[in-house]
Amino acid sequence: MREKSFNYYGYEKITYEDCTSLISSMNIRHMEILNLWFIVITSVYLFFSWQNSYGFSGQNAPVFLVLFLGEAVFEIILLKRREYMEAHLAATIYINMTSLIVFGIICSSAQPYMAGTMYPVILVLVALSYITTMLQMTAFLVLSSIGFVIVSYVIKPGSIFNQDIFNVLVVLILSIILHYTFQRARIRQFITYRHSEKMQQELEIKSSFDSLTSLLNRGRFFSMASDVLRKRDEEGIVLAIMDLDKFKQINDSLGHQMGDKVIQVASRTILDVFEIEYGDKWSFPERAVREGLSFAGRLGGDEFVVLIRNIPDEEKIEEVFKKMLSALNSVKLNGIEGIYASIGVTKISDEDVDLDMVYSRADAALYRSKEAGRNQIYVITNNEKDIIINEEE
């Protein structure tokens, strides 16, 4: 078991890293909130400085104006160049935290005869808002407080300086404790969310894919095919059914284990020839429908079904299915010299609105392929001339 680390809020590094995307998302949301708060509060302090009220001098107005404009520009960049900011999130967070700390120190120095109040507030806000690592945040809070103490020593009377030291020491310790406690609890929430998400993804995979072949199961395949047919916003789609020839003889002579192996090899060949890549398997069904990807399923036993997209004409259909048949026929396993299959193919036209009718055409094509001598491809091209293809052609 890996050692848990204080630096990662009492969790293993790998556990922390698994939550990185959620941590980043939270940090961005908090940065947006803090930045808007910063713009509002600097505008208030700017107004007080211009009015020479509440102990603020007009001499501080230019400083608050610079801070206000800087944060306004930062907000515009955050809105307009969000992707860039997300790509450089760590640097962006430290810029934001440093700006807040500088503002707190300036507010303290603007009222030299009063103990600093804005800086401790900002220190706690920063500690509660962002997750980096425990050591990085502790170092940032300590160095920021040292900067605050130095400025207080230079500007303020001794009695006020002593009060600032006491206040910042108490708040610093509190901030470090709160940071560890709150962020540990947040990471626990992230871990729980990740666990729930992974369970949901595993359930999605189990409900969508055949356990033996990793192809889509019958129900999921037809659900996806129906969605594709309903969209009707693309051309060059074909549906194909493939049935392994004399598969029962393989089971009877070589055993069911070899039969399963043949089915797995055939499935892998289908995926390779039609260039079907799952990526994140749990999200593949949705992505395949949305992004125009081809997909394949297992109907049961030794029968498979494929929906191929972006296949423009009969010449391409003949090319890809001949390649499929050739790849199967070239397979060599213990006691098996080639896998043979009959394939029925039909084009899906703009007039096709019923998946059952399309499937019936493909099934009829499969039957004619078997009638023609097996290990062949029969293509029904609607009203055009049908095509018979075999591996030797």
**Both structure tokens of 115:** 């103990």
In eight-state DSSP terms, residue 341 is: E
Mean pLDDT of the chain: 88
Q: Give pLDDT, residue 234.
A: 75
Asked if residues 187 and 9 have their Cβ atoms less than 8 Å apart, the reply is yes
Domain ranges of the chain: 6-203, 218-390
Q: Is the pLDDT of residue 148 over 70?
A: yes
Q: Residue 38 burial by CB count (10 A; 0-12/13-18/19+): exposed, middle or buried?
A: buried
Collapsing DSSP states into helix, strand and coil, what is residue 287? Answer: helix
* pLDDT tier at 393, thresholds 50, 70, 90: very low
Q: Is the pLDDT of residue 382 over 80?
A: no
Q: What whole-number distance in Å separates Cα of residue 239 and Cα of residue 345?
A: 6
Q: What whole-number distance in Å separates Cα of residue 115 and Cα of residue 117?
A: 6
Q: Give pLDDT, residue 56.
A: 66
**In sequence order, what are the beta bridge partners of 188?**
none
Q: What dotted CATH number matches 218-390?
A: 3.30.70.270
Handedness of CA 37, 38, 44, 48 (dihedral sign): positive
Q: What whole-number distance in Å separates Cα of residue 6 and Cα of residue 176?
A: 12
Q: What whole-number distance in Å separates Cα of residue 25 and Cα of residue 248?
A: 55
Q: Give pLDDT, residue 86.
A: 79
Q: What whole-number distance in Å separates Cα of residue 111 and Cα of residue 57?
A: 9
List phi, psi (to 5°) of 238: -130, 150
**Residue with the larger pLDDT of the pair 112 and 325:** 325
**Residue with the larger pLDDT of the pair 308 and 52:** 308
Q: Average pLDDT of 250-254?
A: 83
DSSP letters, 181-228, are HHHHHHHHHHHHHHHHHHHHHHHHHHHHB-TTT-SBPHHHHHHHHHHH
Q: Is the pLDDT of residue 384 over 70?
A: no
